[in-house]
Structure 1
Amino acid sequence: MDALFPDEVILQILARLPVKSLFRFKSVCKAWHKLPSDGYFTALYNKVSVKEQMLVAEVSYSSESKSSLICVDNLRGVSELSLEFVRDRVRIRASCNGLFCCSSIPEKGVYYVCNPSTRECRRLPKSRERPVTRFYPDGEATLVGLACDLDRNKFYVVMAGYHRSFGQRPDGSFICFVFDSETNKWRKFVSEQEDCCSFTHMSKNQVVFVNGKLHWLMSGLCYVLSLDVERDVWRKICLPDEIRCGEGGGGNRVYLLESDGFLSVVQISDRWMKIWKMREYESESWFVVDSVSLRCIKGLVPGIFPICQTGEYVLLATHKQVLVYQRRRKLWKEMFSVKGSSSLPLWFSAHAFRSTIVPCS
C-alpha cells in the first residue's frame, strides 16, 4: 500500500510536533525511531522550532517549601516543566535555543547545561582557575550567558565579573570564563571594562544570543554589552537615540530581547510599548517595528516585563500573571495566573524558551 503523503511532507508534519510527542511516536516504525538522532531531521526540527517562543518561569509559593516550573506556549497553553532529571536542586541562570544553564543551589560553583525537552543533562567541569563564585558584587558571577549554536550543535557558557581578593575592593579587571562544549574546557581572558557591574536582575536575566554574540543591557541604558564567543572580544552597542541614557522620560523602562534572529529592545512607558529592532548589526541601525497602546491594561503597566517575542506575539510577566499580546490582532490575553500567594514575582524567574532537540551531552 502506497503512503498517503510523500516522506518530505511527513517530516514537515513531524517537525511541528512537541518533542515529547515526537519521542512517543518513535515506536511507530523504525524510520521514526531514528528521527531524533538524524542530522537532517534535527536541523529541520530546530529550524521550525526557533520560530516559536515560550516563557518558562519558576512559581514559588510562600506557604509551601516547594516550587514548580511552568511553561507558557502561545499555541498550546500552559504546562509544567520538570528539571528532576538533573538530580540536583538548581535554578535557571540562562536560556538559549532549548538549553538551560543552571546553577546548583546547595553546591556553589557547580553548573549544568540541560535540555528539558529531551531530558539530557551535562554537568560542567570546574575551572582550575580561581572559583567563579568569588566575583564582585555578589556570591555568583555578575553575568552568566548561554550561547547555543544550532547549526553546529554546540554551546558556550560564559561567566564574567569583577574579581576581588578576599576582603579587598575589585581592582577593575573584568574576568571572563568561557566553556566550550566541544573541547569540554574553560578558557579565561581578562579585559578592562568600565561600569560592567551596573546590571539589574532583569538585564542580567535577559541575555540574548544573536549573530554569534551574547548581549546584555546596561542598567543605565547607555549601551548594550556584547561578547563574541568565538573570538573573546567585548563590544559596546549603542541603543536608539530616543532611549539612550534614559532620554524620553515618561517612566521609560527598556528590555533586551530577540526578535526572529535580530537584536531588539522593548521600551515601555506609562501609555505605550514600543518595539525596536536592529536593522543593520554592524552599523547599529535601529528602527521601530511596533507601537502598542497600554491603555486597556493600564493598572498592570508598572509591573509588566516583556520576556520573549516573535513577529506574531509578545509574552510578558507580571507579579502573578503571564500575558500575551497578539500583535496582528492587537489583543491582550491572560495566559496564566498564580493561585494563592507567591513568594517571588513571576518576572523574577522568567526566561525565554524554545523546544529543540539539541544534544548537550
Structure 2
Amino acid sequence: MEDETENHHLTEDVVMVDILPRLPAKSLFRFKCVSKKWNDFISHDPSFPQKQSQCFSSFSGLLFHNPQGSELGLGLTSPDEKSHGVPDPSLRFIDDPVEIKASCKGLVCCKSHTNDSSYYICNPATKEWRVLPNPPRDHDSMVDVVLAFDPFDVPASYKLVCVFSSEYEFEFEIFDSKTDEWIIPRVMFTDDVLSLVWDTIYSTISVRGIIYWLVDPSSVVLSFDTDKNCCRSIHLPKLTAKERESQAWLGEFEGCLSYTNVVKAKGKVKVWILCKPSLGEWSLRYNVHLETTLEHQPELWRSRRAHLWTLPCQDGEVLLLYLLSQQELFVYYFKTQKLNKFPILPPGFANFYSYTNTMVRLPRYLEV
C-alpha cells in the first residue's frame, strides 16, 4: 500500500513538474480545479509562469485589430479554441482604448488610440498589464515598434524598441523593464549599413534579444543587438530572380531567425533559418509545393491562383493561407503537415499578430 501511495505521489510530481509547463495557459487555468496542490503550484509557485513560457512556445492563434474607424475591433482567433484562448480578447481590462502594435512570446504591446505617447504591455491570458512612462518624444503612426522578450532571461524582462527611419538614417528609442526607463542609445552602425539606401523597412521581429527587419529594395536583413547597441546587415540566402520579386517575411523557427519566401505563380514555399548569425549562414529547412500540401483540400487548390493568399506570420513554423472567395483562413504546420481551419475570421481589413498562450508574469503590473 505504501508503494502504491509513493508511486502515486511520484507520478503526480512528474506530471506537475514535467508536463504542466508544456500546456497552454487556458488548459492550466482549468487544471487549477484538480486539487489544492495543483492550484497552489500553478497559481503561487514563483518559478512556474516563467518555466511554462519557456516550455510552451507553440502557435496559439492570431490577435487582430481592425484599424478602420473610431471603434477598434480587437480579438483573438485560434484553430483550436478549446485549448487556446484569453478571457477578454478585446483587451478591455486596460482602462484605455488601445490598438495592438507588437506581440512576443505571450506579451503584447498596445498603444493608446487617443494618446500617441501612451504604451501598454499586457499578458492577455492573465489580464496583467501596465502603462509605460511616456517616451522622450511624440510617436506618430510611422514609428516601427517591436517588443523583445526572451523567456529564458532571469529574471523575466522585456524591451520595447521604437525605430524612426528615413532614407539614410535610423534612430532608436528603447524602454527597458529592468530600469523602467526610456533611453536613446548611441548606436554603432557597420559600414555596410551606412552605405544602404532603402525605401522602407518591414517584417520586424525579435529573436533572443536581436531585432531583425527586411529592407526594401535591398536584399538584406538588418539586425540590431539591443544589448550591444550595434546595427549590422545580413545578406539573404541565395535567391532566384522570381524569389527576389516574391512575397517574403521574417519569423522565428526553433529559436532562430527564419525567412519565408512564397512564389505564388509556381505554388512554392521555402523556409530558411539563420543557422549561424555571426557568419550570416542560412540553411534551407522546408521546400514545400502547395499542390502537394493541399492535395486533400481540392477546393483550396482549385482557387489557389486567383483567390488563395499567403499571409505573413511571425511564427516561422506555420503558414497562413487565406481563401479570398470563401473568406476562410487556414494554418498549415510544416512539421506535422497538417492543415487546420480558423473558426472565426474578423470582418474587413485587419492587422494580425502571432500569439502564444503563456502565463509569463509582468514586472510592475496591474491586475484586473
- Give your verdict on TM over 0.5: yes
Does structure 1 retain, via aligned residues, the 8 Å contact 2:26–2:357? no
Aligned to 2:24, which of 15, 18, 24? 18
Does structure 1 retain, via aligned residues, the 8 Å contact 2:85–2:125? no
CA distance in 2, matches of 1:67, 1:75: 19
Aligned to 1:89, which of 97, 120, 128? 97
Aligned to 2:239, which of 236, 242, 248? 242
- Give the C-alpha shift of residue 242 in structure 1: 1.1
- Give the C-alpha shift of residue 185 in structure 1: 0.2
Q: Which residue of 2 aligns with 1:38?
A: 45
Does structure 2 retain, via aligned residues, the 8 Å contact 1:96–1:146? yes
Does structure 2 retain, via aligned residues, the 8 Å contact 1:53–1:73? no
Does structure 2 retain, via aligned residues, the 8 Å contact 1:323–1:336? no
CA distance in 2, matches of 1:196, 1:185: 31
- Identity of aligned pairs, percent? 25
Q: How does 1:1-361 map to 2 (within 5 A)?
A: 2=5, 3=8, 5-26=11-32, 28-30=35-37, 32-50=39-57, 52-58=58-64, 60=66, 65=71, 67-73=73-79, 76=82, 81-127=89-135, 129-131=136-138, 133=139, 139-151=140-152, 152=154, 153-162=156-165, 172-189=168-185, 194-195=196-197, 198-199=200-201, 203=202, 206-242=203-239, 247-248=241-242, 252-269=246-263, 270=265, 271-295=267-291, 296=301, 298-299=304-305, 303-309=309-315, 311=317, 313-317=318-322, 320-328=327-335, 330-336=337-343, 338=345, 342-344=347-349, 346=350, 349-360=351-362, 361=365
- Give the C-alpha shift of residue 301 in structure 1: 6.5
Cα-to-partner distance string for 1:81-110 (whole Å, 9 max, x where unaligned)? 231111211111111111011111111111
CA distance in 2, matches of 1:75, 1:284: 39
Tell me which amino acid in the other structure corresponds to 2:305: G
- CA 1:115 to 1:140, structure 2 compared with 1: closer, same or farther past 3 Å? same
Q: Secondary structure at the match of 1:182?
A: coil
Q: What TM-score, normalized to structure 1?
A: 0.80
Q: Which runs of 5+ in 2 are unaligned?
A: 292-300
- CA 1:315 to 1:37, structure 2 compared with 1: closer, same or farther past 3 Å? farther
Does structure 1 retain, via aligned residues, the 8 Å contact 2:52–2:360? no
Q: What TM-score, normalized to structure 2?
A: 0.79
The total of aligned residue pairs comes to 332
- CA 1:43 to 1:143, structure 2 compared with 1: closer, same or farther past 3 Å? same
- Give the C-alpha shift of residue 63 in structure 1: 11
Does structure 1 retain, via aligned residues, the 8 Å contact 2:167–2:199? no
Does structure 1 retain, via aligned residues, the 8 Å contact 2:64–2:353? no
Q: Which runs of 5+ in 1 are unaligned?
A: 134-138, 163-169
- Give the C-alpha shift of residue 187 in structure 1: 0.6
Does structure 1 retain, via aligned residues, the 8 Å contact 2:65–2:352? no
Cα-to-partner distance string for 1:48-107 (whole Å, 9 max, x where unaligned)? 211x01331426498995624123246857757231111211111111111011111111
- Give the C-alpha shift of residue 45 in structure 1: 1.2
Tell me which amino acid in the other structure corresponds to 1:275: V
Cα-to-partner distance string for 1:224-279 (whole Å, 9 max, x where unaligned)? 11111112111211111216xxx335851111111111111110012211111112
Does structure 1 retain, via aligned residues, the 8 Å contact 2:79–2:341? no
- CA 1:118 to 1:318, structure 2 compared with 1: closer, same or farther past 3 Å? farther
- CA 1:186 to 1:318, structure 2 compared with 1: closer, same or farther past 3 Å? farther
> Runs of 4+ in structure 1 displaced over 6 angstroms?
61-64
Coordinate RMSD, CA, aligned: 3.1
Q: Secondary structure at the match of 1:343?
A: coil
